[in-house]
Structure 1
Amino acid sequence: MTTQNLKPLQNLLGYTFKNEKLLQIALTHRSCLNEPGVTESYERLEFLGDAVLEMIISVYLFNKYPDKMEGYLTAARSATVRTESLSKISKDHGIDTYIIMSKGEESTGGRNNPSILEDVIESLIGALYCDGGLDAANQFFKNFILPNAESIINENQLKDAKSLLQEKAQSKGFVSPLYKTVKESGPDHNKTFEVVVLVNDKEITTGSGKSKQEAEQNAAKKAVELI
Structure 2
Amino acid sequence: MSSSATPLEVRLGHVFRDRALLAQALTHPSLRQDPTPAESNQRLEFLGDAVLQLVLTEALFQAFPGEREGELSRLRATLANGTCLAGLAREAGVAAALRLNPAEEAAGGRTRPTALADALEALLGAIFLEAGLEGARRAVQGLYGPLGPHLAAAAADNPKGRLQERIQPVHGNEALRYAVVATEGADHARTYTVTVFLHDQPVGTGRGSSKKAAEESAARAALAVVSGPRPV
Work out whether the TM-score is over 0.5. yes
Does residue 40 (structure 1) correspond to residue 68 (structure 2)? The answer is no
Alignment partners' CA distance in 2, 1:25 and 1:130: 13
Query: Structure 1 residues 204 and 27, CA, compared in 2 at 3 Å: closer, same or farther?
Result: same
User: Deviations 1:174-225 (Å, cap 9, x if unpaired)?
Assistant: 6511223222222332121111212132221210001222111110122123
Match in the other structure for 2:229: none
Matches within 5 A, 1:52-131: 52-131=51-130
User: Deviations 1:122-165 (Å, cap 9, x if unpaired)?
Assistant: 00000000011112111111111234x21122498189432332
Which deviates more from structure 2 when the two are superposed, residues 170-179 or residues 192-201?
Answer: 170-179
User: Deviations 1:71-116 (Å, cap 9, x if unpaired)?
Assistant: 2211111111111111001112222110100011111111121111
For structure 1, the residue ranges without an aligned partner over 5 or more in a row are none
Does residue 193 (structure 1) correspond to residue 200 (structure 2)? The answer is no
Which deviates more from structure 2 when the two are superposed, residues 164-173 or residues 128-137?
Answer: 164-173
Match in the other structure for 2:145: 146
Match in the other structure for 1:11: 10
Question: Given that residues 178 and 198 in structure 1 are in contact (C-alpha distance below 8 angstroms), is that contact kept between their aligned partners in structure 2?
Answer: yes
Alignment partners' CA distance in 1, 2:101 and 2:199: 45
Offset at residue 37 of structure 1 (A): 5.2
Alignment partners' CA distance in 2, 1:139 and 1:62: 17
Question: Given that residues 192 and 209 in structure 2 are in contact (C-alpha distance below 8 angstroms), is that contact kept between their aligned partners in structure 1?
Answer: yes
Alignment partners' CA distance in 2, 1:155 and 1:93: 18
**SS at structure 2 position matched to 1:66:** coil
Offset at residue 56 of structure 1 (A): 0.4
The Cα RMSD (Å) is 2.2
Aligned-residue sequence identity (percent) comes to: 33
Alignment partners' CA distance in 2, 1:101 and 1:142: 28
**SS at structure 2 position matched to 1:193:** strand
Query: Structure 1 residues 34 and 197, CA, compared in 2 at 3 Å: closer, same or farther?
Result: closer
Match in the other structure for 2:224: 225
For structure 2, the residue ranges without an aligned partner over 5 or more in a row are 227-232
Alignment partners' CA distance in 1, 2:157 and 2:110: 28
Q: TM-score, normalised by structure 1?
A: 0.89
Question: Given that residues 27 and 38 in structure 2 are in contact (C-alpha distance below 8 angstroms), is that contact kept between their aligned partners in structure 1?
Answer: no
Paired positions, count:
222
Question: Given that residues 25 and 41 in structure 1 are in contact (C-alpha distance below 8 angstroms), is that contact kept between their aligned partners in structure 2?
Answer: yes
**SS at structure 2 position matched to 1:194:** strand
Query: Structure 1 residues 200 and 36, CA, compared in 2 at 3 Å: closer, same or farther?
Result: closer
Q: TM-score, normalised by structure 2?
A: 0.87
Question: Given that residues 49 and 121 in structure 2 are in contact (C-alpha distance below 8 angstroms), is that contact kept between their aligned partners in structure 1?
Answer: yes
**SS at structure 2 position matched to 1:172:** helix
Alignment partners' CA distance in 2, 1:22 and 1:6: 15
